[in-house]
Homo-oligomer: A and B are copies of this chain.
Amino acid sequence: MQSQHIMRSFDEELRLLTNQIGGMGGYAERMVEQAVAALVSGDAALAKKVIEDDAFLDEKEREIGEKAVIIIAKRQPMAGDLREIVGAIRISGDLERIGDLGKNIAKRVAAVTEARQPTRLFRGLSALSDLALTQLKEVLDAYASHSADKISFVRDRDEEIDAMYTSLFRELLTYMMEDPRNITACTHLVFCAKNIERIGDHATNIAETVYHIVTGTVLPPERPKEDKSHKIVAPTQQED
């Protein structure tokens, strides 16, 4: 009886942890959405809200980390349960950094919108952000449902995000070269684009963690692909 009680309460602790991660995930998604919306519409008040919101994710990450350590020390969980708890620590870290990246986009809103920029500058960024947010939503769904089915798509989409970022980088450089008055805003936009690309990377990290939690194995190494990092030769053509 006592042991059953302990078991149940352990399950409850795990469920609580999982729910908190789900809450953090939704919060981080919204922050990124609102940061990009603030950028595109030049909405300083919304940007301010996003900047302030970030403290919540910092606090949550700390809280989950502390809780997880207490559970590990108290329960000495094995195998699947241990993976679940360590996974929660990792995922909360990724979500906290997604929040930071959203906040950093929000911080650049004033500088970008100071001189009203042509809409075309933002079009690529919105598309990139939509793709990264879709990525994030799907990995959070996979986490909530403990499903490893969709994980393989995640890496493909991450490549798509990288490619779209590279093309956006090139585009923004072109705008700068066309008109020096675009330089400051476009430099900030390049940072925003990079932040979104990194949000995609964190979503991919989460996918890998989910895969490990669910299957107990590490996602097989990526198939050989063109590694752009070793051949950045044409400066206006490539970025990673």
Known: A173-B187, A176-B176, A180-B176. A110 touches B72 (CB 8 A): no
| A106 CB, nearest partner CB in chain B, Å | 9
- A5 contacts chain B at the CB level, 8 A cutoff: no
- Among A198-240, those with CB < 8 Å from B are 229-236, 238-240
Q: Can you report 9 A-B residue pairs in the complex whose CB atoms are below 8 A from each other?
A: A72-B72, A72-B73, A73-B82, A107-B232, A173-B187, A176-B176, A177-B180, A187-B187, A191-B194
Cβ-defined partner of A114 (8 Å) among B115, B187, B230, B233: B233
B176 pairs with A235, CB closer than 8 A: no
A residues with CB within 8 A of B: 48, 51, 65, 69, 72-74, 76-77, 82, 86, 93, 107-108, 110-112, 114-115, 173, 176-177, 180, 183-185, 187-188, 190-191, 194, 229-236, 238-240
A239 proximity list for chain B (CB < 8 A): 111
| A182 CB, nearest partner CB in chain B, Å | 10
Cα distance, A191 to B173, chains bound together (Å) = 14
Question: Which 5 A-B residue pairings sit nearest by Cβ, starting from the closest?
Answer: A184-B235, A111-B235, A110-B232, A111-B232, A73-B76
